[in-house]
Amino acid sequence: MIIILKENPDKKQLENLTDWLKTMGLDIHYSQGTSTTIMGLIGDTSVVDTDLINALDIVENVKRITEPYKNANRKFHPFDTVVEVPLPDGGSVKIGGGNFQIIAGPCSVESEDQVCTIAMEVKEAGAGLCRGGAFKPRTSPYAFQGMREQGINLLLEAKKRSGLPVVTEVMDISHLPFFENVDVIQVGARNMQNFELLKELGHIGKPVLLKRGLSSTLRELLMSAEYVMAGGNRNVILCERGIRTFETATRNTLDLSAIPLLKEKTHLPVIVDPSHATGSAALVLPMSMAATAAGADGLMIEVHNDPEHALCDGAQSITPATFRDLVKSVKSIQPLAYKGGKP
Ligand code: PEP
Ligand code: MN
């Protein structure tokens, strides 16, 4: 349920309303705009008499939210969430609310030289964050499983040298101590509904990049974001990375309609990973342009300095030179991008 307050509500009346709602066991989330304040109520609101609240002097309107996700709901929080990734100089890299970011780097960290070279190259080309897998979710137990703890240390070395904050995937709660200096924690498609992991990430003070499951609906993705947010962590970035369909020409099918749909339903930033969505280096540029045009808040791109010899996902990895061209093409599209029907 949301309560939309009139402009400049009387402080005493607002305090009384807040106390009364709290006695019913409800949690209250405030969303402050330039002229309106929205109170979002979390908990069992079936006991709340909406007519009674509507009749109060300070109340403009009361609405029940029917969707099961509350914190992630745009009705609850109409303004775009800007996720901020802190930088050592006191600044931050911002994603969402008009801040477009590109996350780029190898599928997997393979060596210090590899990850540091790529990090410097993508930074030079305009990436805002560097990615690199250390704990890898592979279909085959015989495939390269990632460099694990050592991989994270090498990624942190790349962070030191390039100045780019880093994003890497966690697969298990027990590995979280290794992620202490990682800037953004990724939950991969295969773990989108690992609810215990999501609950744990609700208690950490770091942004979470949540990828859509291979066969998950948008509602399920939003419910997974809700798990993280319900624990108090509001810094969630959603990532469309393609879904399973009957098509075999591409690794997955990129669901471009997910971008405007998600942005209508949630205030969270939405980014797109055209690398895993298509599985093909040649399709990364056109799909990056399409995702940008459809209103994505950013992209996640796999870049490798020697794709042919990559230990993982070489076929979908682009070179630093191609990445430079991609950034230019994407930037040229940004002014024309769809902005949710707003002028
Ligand atoms: C990845 O980004 O490294 C990855 C494994 O992607 P996904 O979880 O989308 O398959
Ligand atoms: Mn990959």
User: Which has more pLDDT, 80 or 47?
Assistant: 80
Atom of ligand 1 nearest to the CA of 189: 8
- The Å distance, Cα 105 to ligand 1 centre, comes to 12
CATH of region 2-63: 3.30.70.1140
Average pLDDT rounded to a whole number, residues 175-195: 98
Residue 33 pLDDT: 83
Domain 83-336: assigned CATH number: 3.20.20.70
Residue nearest to atom 9 of ligand 1 (CA): 189
Q: In the chain, which ranges are continuous DSSP H helix?
A: 11-23, 50-54, 112-125, 148-162, 195-201, 218-230, 258-265, 274-278, 281-293, 320-333
Where does CATH 3.30.70.1140 sit in the chain?
2-63
In terms of Cα–Cα distance, which of 261, 278, 279 is closest to 270? 261
What is the distance, to the nearest Å, from the Cα of residue 178 to the centroid of all Cα atoms in its chain?
21
pTM: 0.96
Nearest ligand atom owner, CA of 316: 2
Provide CATH 3.20.20.70 ranges for the chain.
83-336
Q: Ligand 1 pocket by C-beta < 6 Å: which residues?
A: 107, 133, 137, 169, 188-190, 211, 241, 273, 276
pLDDT at 102: 98
% pLDDT > 90, the chain: 95
pLDDT in tens, 264-299: 999 999 999 999 999 999 999 999 999 999 999 999
User: What is the average per-residue pLDDT within 147-166?
Assistant: 98
Instruction: Say how far apart CA 301 and CA 314 lie, in whole Å.
Output: 12
The rounded Å distance from CA 315 to ligand 2 centre is 10
Ligand closest to Cα of 137 equals 1
20-61: pLDDT as tens digits:
999 999 999 999 888 889 999 999 998 899 999 999 999 999
Statement: residue 343 has pLDDT above 50: no
Digit-coded pLDDT (tens) for 234-270: 999 999 999 999 999 999 999 999 999 999 999 999 9
CA 276 to ligand 2 centroid distance, Å: 6
- Do residues 85 and 93 make contact, with C-beta atoms less than 8 angstroms apart? yes
